[in-house]
Structure 1
Amino acid sequence: MRICSVCSETVPKYRCPTCKIKYCSVICYKKHKDGCSPVEETLPAALPEPGGTWCRDGDWTVEDLVDEEDESDKVPLERLKKLGESEELKALLRNAHLRRLLLAVDGAESKADIMKVAMQEPLFVEFADQCLRIAEPME
């Protein structure tokens, strides 16, 4: 079970929009915000080595990205690792425009609205299709 990154006592319900740490309450957010620093604004030109992360401090894991209650939508870790090993995805992620689109999606308040916009971009659709071919291969 995860605990608040600030007080280390309670299960977190929220994620800081700036640095992405998880916290449990307004009190913890207020304690955290003075020392908060943003996650890197640009991604590297290539994917990290398998097992690596995009995060500046390397303080998150795949499990942090999916709520425990979201079991029905959870992709097995083995398939997620294949995403990081894909040469096709690495090539796509070298495109600065795609990286900006992904950052916009990640940082958006309304994920549904930003996805409607992103899915109008052929490059984003190509990226999404490639991810799905790897994560959910046709039987």
Structure 2
Amino acid sequence: MGPRKCQVCDEAQSKYKCPTCLIPYCSLICFKKHKEIPCVKLASSSEAKLTSGSVSHVERPYHVDEPSEVLQQLQFESIASSSEIRDALKDEELQKLIQNIDGSPDAGSELDKAMELEVFRIFTNKILSTISPQQ
């Protein structure tokens, strides 16, 4: 595997990796920009921890009808390293929507409500374009 490009500025060759989420970055400036939004620790277990201690999480079982729809590790890494997605997450309205979904015992209903809002639809489209195979 050759030199990697900085995932923050998408210009320079990376020299470092974030100790939390392992995305490559090139400088202190890019590291500080990356840390403006708490990143997710890539864990080998199914439990991911956010660097912010203020986020609550409702434990609930999940069922997958189509195993092919489960995200692969590289897709998670693409999402975590996307500056476009990180920038979108700076929106306070979007943050509240995501917290409502994550903290709700009826996450499906909260997700349906969020999908009615343009800010959330734009965000989900950014995620889908990040994880979809480029053609």
Residues 1:130 and 1:46: Cα distance change in structure 2 (over 3 Å): same
Which structure would you say has the larger RCO, counting Cα contacts within 8 Å and 6 or more residues apart?
Answer: 2
Q: 1:56–1:47: structure 2 CA closer, same or farther, 3 Å change rule? A: closer
Amino acid at match of 2:68: S
Give the superposed CA RMSD: 3.0
Letter in 2 for 1:128: T
Which of 46, 57, 80 lines up with 2:37 in the alignment?
A: 46
By how many angstroms is 1:133 displaced?
A: 0.5
**TM-score of the two chains, using structure 2 as the length reference:** 0.54
Unaligned runs of 5+ in 2: 1-34, 44-48, 54-60
Structure 1 segments of 4+ aligned residues over 3 angstroms from their partners:
49-53, 65-70
Closer/same/farther in 2, CA of residues 136 and 46 from structure 1, 3 Å limit: same
Where does residue 7 of structure 1 map in the other structure? none
Counterpart for residue 114 of structure 1 = 110
1:81 is aligned to 77
Q: Percent identity?
A: 16
Moved more, 109-118 or 98-107: 109-118
What residue in structure 1 maps to residue 90 of structure 2? 94
The offset of 1:108, in angstroms, is 1.6
Cα shift at 1:66: 6.9
Q: TM-score normalized by structure 1?
A: 0.52
Structure 1: stretches of 5+ with no match in the other structure: 1-43, 58-64
Secondary structure of 1:94 counterpart? coil
Distance 1:56 1:93 in 2: 14
